[in-house]
Amino acid sequence: MGARVARMLRNFNLESRAHLELSRDKPRAAPRHPAPRHPAPGPEASDVAESIHGKNDPLLSLLKSVYVKSEDPAPSEAPKPAAAAHEEQQRRPLKFSLPGDLYGPGAVDVPRGKLSLVEALRALNSHKSQPATWTPEKLTQEYSLNPKDTKAILEFFTPFDVKIIPPQTERAKQIKGSP
Predicted confidence at residue 98, as pLDDT, reads: 52
| Distant-in-sequence, close-in-space partners of 160: CB < 8 Å, separation ≥ 6 | 125, 128
Predicted confidence at residue 12, as pLDDT, reads: 84
Q: Domain-by-domain residue ranges, the chain?
A: 88-94+107-156
Predicted confidence at residue 103, as pLDDT, reads: 47
Distances (CA, A) of 47 to 41, 44, 53, 173: 11, 5, 10, 95
* Conformational region of residue 158, where left means phi above 0, alpha means psi within -120 to 50, and beta covers everything else: beta
Low-confidence ranges of the chain (pLDDT < 70): 38-42, 77-89, 93-108, 160-162, 167, 170-179
Predicted confidence at residue 110, as pLDDT, reads: 79
